[in-house]
Structure 1
């Protein structure tokens, strides 16, 4: 479906749970947060119905997120069921990686081939601090296993945080020298109470890229030079199913993998945004930064028809704004008071 700004909306991110076995500092407030009850989250059959309707109006890409999606019972069977929906070209998963070693083979057999792993430090102590207790070795074993099994692409999402992991930029970069990974540096997004707690730790990807370029020659991938944006309103091209969306992608000269930069703060990509977000409690959002959302769970449980559900989805797309500002300041953070873990970042 094409929105009023001529953007093709073909990508749905689905949060299947707000629960997570980690409590990353930029995702969850220090004091924790209240969690949804069992009846408050969408049932798998409800999610499937929404996805089928989304596909009917043009969605072709689905990403499963959380929370941590692998903590939800029945997730592998659910993923396998999505492969039966005609019209879905691409199904992918975002995970913190702690359960990958146990789930990798079942996920692969279920039809999942593309995976993103959140990893913000390669040092065990720092990793435990940022995740408030995570086991780095478990994540690294999981990444190694999905690589051996044949997942591709394997994308590692690293949030660049000033004063915390900015001394590891080159360590992450070297992974792409020897492994077929796409290392994606993501700017810290000021969202929710967790965003307020981390105010002042933002690091521009311009700085990250400059540090890497001192030591390695970065070669643009797939016409990426055209995608390099120089101002807040410039477009970053979506590279299609299996592509990198808003990421600027480079190869390291002589390397095996790739380096990506996702810069929602310094280089907005609103003009090419193609996505919708379904929260675990059944609200559909057109934008991570907008508080506007439409409840789908209520109508579903009240017996709405397919026609009514289609109208609700189209209403969200019709309300998708041209652009939002993501300024790193307290006033902006206060406007985004749903935590990242409850939206499904």
Structure 2
């Protein structure tokens, strides 16, 4: 399992499928825009599916949320979701989206109907901090593990993945990355600094 030194267990995986978005919301996208990572730097569909499988079958992850950027812009989204839904144990799957591409996506009916009715929510992680009970781990589109949305440190899984490292070693690297998770985001500390990578590159 993914446990840290404070006894928190991460069972909720946030997977950023792309840092691209079809909106330019000022709270998310810097005014100067972003430098998009080169395509070879991004995880392939097979690599995304493999890392999620490792998280679910070897690390106790029970919930997977696909984020971005805008995840509906990922061409292989439907295939990734199907592969995750076939895992045993089957994780709870969800999607963070601006909704603009739902009418073009084969998953639209499933996401909005199965177990419905559809629900919406407001993310209040700043005004109502949940750090003490945080159960999240994050995977960026280029294969970096982040223990916290506001962490400045990342742990690379892409390089060992592409060098042929077996699943057990990948799981071990992920465990070590989460073990060092800090007690909180540090947002209320005078020394706080934003991560070098903006929200679209990290995943919401």
TM over 0.5: same fold?
yes
Report whether the alignment pairs 1:185 with 2:122.
Answer: yes
User: Higher helix share goes to which structure?
Assistant: 1
Contact 1:12–1:277 at 8 Å: present in 2 too?
yes
TM-score (norm 2): 0.91
Summarize the Cα distance change of 1:308–1:90 in structure 2 as closer, same or farther, 3 Å threshold: same
User: Higher strand share goes to which structure?
Assistant: 1
Question: Post-superposition shift, 1:101?
Answer: 2.2
Q: What root-mean-square deviation, in Å, do the aligned CA atoms of Structure 1 and Structure 2 show?
A: 2.0
SS in 2 for 1:18: coil
Report whether the alignment pairs 1:107 with 2:107.
Answer: yes
Summarize the Cα distance change of 1:43–1:266 in structure 2 as closer, same or farther, 3 Å threshold: same
Runs of 4+ in structure 1 off by over 3 angstroms are none
Structure 2: runs of 5+ lacking an equivalent = none
TM-score (norm 1): 0.55
Match of 1:54 in 2: 55
Report whether the alignment pairs 1:284 with 2:179.
Answer: no
Match of 1:43 in 2: 44
Summarize the Cα distance change of 1:325–1:63 in structure 2 as closer, same or farther, 3 Å threshold: same
Match of 1:249 in 2: none
The equivalences for 1:108-127 within 5 A come to 112-113=110-111
The equivalences for 1:1-345 within 5 A come to 1=1, 2-55=3-56, 56-103=58-105, 106-107=106-107, 112-113=110-111, 146=112, 149=113, 152=116, 154-156=118-120, 184-186=121-123, 262=124, 264-327=125-188, 332=192, 334-345=193-204
Structure 1: runs of 5+ lacking an equivalent = 114-145, 157-183, 187-261
Moved more, 311-320 or 2-11: 2-11
Larger Rg: 1
Contact 2:53–2:84 at 8 Å: present in 1 too?
no
- Structure with more contact order per residue of length (Cα contacts < 8 Å, sep ≥ 6): 2
Match of 1:196 in 2: none
For 1:303 and 1:30, the matched residues in 2 are separated by: 39
Summarize the Cα distance change of 1:301–1:3 in structure 2 as closer, same or farther, 3 Å threshold: same
For 2:117 and 2:18, the matched residues in 1 are separated by: 24
Question: Post-superposition shift, 1:344?
Answer: 0.4
Question: Post-superposition shift, 1:108?
Answer: 5.1
For 1:185 and 1:284, the matched residues in 2 are separated by: 25
